[in-house]
Structure 1
Amino acid sequence: MLTQAKPIATASREFAVTRTFNAPRDLVWKAWSEADRLAQWWGPKGGKLDVAKLEFRPGGVFHYSMLMPDGATTWWGRFVYREIVKPERIVFVSSFSDAKGGIARAPFDPTWPLEVHNTLTLSEHDGKTMLELHGAPVNPSAEERVSFEGLFDCMQQGYGGTFDQLDEHLAKT
C-alpha cells in the first residue's frame, strides 16, 4: 500500500460517476497506472493523448497533452497523486496545465476551478470491475463552485465517452 496523507478542502457538492467494466480489477488498475495504457483511452472521444510524464506514486505527476477531436487544438492536463492503494483506490488532484506542467485555467471556462480533488475506487464482483469516481473543487471561490456544479451533466457525458474508450481498450487486452 502506498499512501500520502494530506488534508485538502473541497466544495460541499461532489461530482460522482459509476461504471462497471467487463474486466478484472487488476486489468482496470493497469489501465489507470501504466502510461502506454492511459495513452490509449484517457481523454475525449476522438482525441489523441500524449503522456509527457507518468510518476505513478504518491506525490508523483501524470502530465499529458490532448489533441482535441477537431485536430487543431491541444489541451494540457495533469494529476498529482495523493494516495495509491493497489488495486483499490487512487486519490489525485487534477487540473488543466501548461506544457511545463504548471497549473492553468481551463480553456473552456475562466471560472472553472483550478484544481479538483478526485477519489477513484475499484471493486471486483464476479470478474467485473465497478469504478466509482468522486470529485470536488479544491478551495473554490463561489463562482468556481457554481461553474463546477453547473457542468455535472456535461461531465457525465465526457466521462461516459472516456469510459467507453476504456471499455474498448479493456476488451482488446
Structure 2
Amino acid sequence: MSTETARPKLTLTRIFNAPRDLVFQAWTDADHLARWWGSPGVPLRVVNADIRPGGSFFYEQTTPDGGVMQALLIFRELQAPSRIVFVSAFADAAGQIARAPFSPLWPLQVMTTLTLTEEGHQTRLTLQGSPLEATAEENAMFASILGNLEQGFGGTFAQLEAHLAAVAG
C-alpha cells in the first residue's frame, strides 16, 4: 500500500563555478555523467545509456569489497538548460528495478527534481528528492537517513565540481 502523505523530502543546494549549459550537459550527456556520478572512490561502469525523456542511465558500481551494485536513473523531463526530473532506483543485472542491496525498506524509487539557475558565471543547483509510491515504512527509512544522503551527495557533487573544472579548462 502506498501513501502520498508524510513524504520526506531531501533538499540540497550547491553553487557550481560553471555555466548553466555545461552543468546541464554534465547531467544529460552519458560520457559526462559516467565521469562523475556515483559514490566517490567506487568505479562506475555504464551498462546502457539512453538519456532522453522516457530513457535511462543504467550503471553498475563495484564496491571496495568486490560487491557489484546496479542502479538506474530513469529520465522523466529534460528542459534544457534549467530542469531535469528523474527517478533513481536500484536494479538487477537485467536493468529491472529491484530492492536496494542494503535494506528491504529502502523505497523502490526516488523522484528527483534538479533546478539549475544562472547566477552570474555560476550555476545554482537545487536538488529535491522524495520516495515515489512508497509505503509508510519506506518513507520512514528514507527520512531516517537524510543526513547520510546529504553527506553522500556532498561527495558526488565534489566529483561533479572537479569534472566541471576539468572540462571548462
TM-score bucket of the superposed structures, by smaller chain = over 0.9
Asked if residue 89 in structure 1 is aligned to residue 83 in structure 2, the reply is: yes
Asked if residue 72 in structure 1 is aligned to residue 105 in structure 2, the reply is: no
Q: Retained in 1: the 8 A contact 2:110–2:129?
A: yes
Q: Name the TM-score, length of structure 1 as normaliser.
A: 0.91
Asked if residue 53 in structure 1 is aligned to residue 65 in structure 2, the reply is: no
- Identify the residue that residue 108 of structure 1 maps to in structure 2: 102
Q: Retained in 2: the 8 A contact 1:105–1:112?
A: yes
Let me know the Cα RMSD of the aligned residues.
1.3
2:34 to 36, 39, 45: 39
1:12 to 7, 17, 27: 7
Q: Name the TM-score, length of structure 2 as normaliser.
A: 0.93
Asked if residue 147 in structure 1 is aligned to residue 141 in structure 2, the reply is: yes
Shift of 1:13: 2.4
The 4+ residue runs of structure 1 with deviation greater than 6 A are none
Q: Retained in 2: the 8 A contact 1:91–1:118?
A: yes
Q: Retained in 1: the 8 A contact 2:115–2:127?
A: yes
Q: Distance in 1 between matches of 2:33 and 2:51?
A: 12
Where does the alignment leave 5 or more consecutive residues of structure 2 unmatched? Answer: none
- Cα distance per residue 1:75-131 (max 9 Å; x no partner): 110011111101111111110001211011111111000001110111111110111
- TM-aligned CA distance change 1:10 to 1:172, over 3 Å: farther
What is the letter of the counterpart of residue 57 of structure 2? F
- TM-aligned CA distance change 1:93 to 1:83, over 3 Å: same
Q: Distance in 2 between matches of 1:71 and 1:167?
A: 27
Q: Distance in 2 between matches of 1:16 and 1:98?
A: 28
Which sits farther off after the overlay, 43-52 or 71-80?
A: 71-80
Shift of 1:11: 5.3
Shift of 1:12: 2.6
SS in 2 for 1:13: coil
Q: Distance in 2 between matches of 1:12 and 1:98?
A: 26
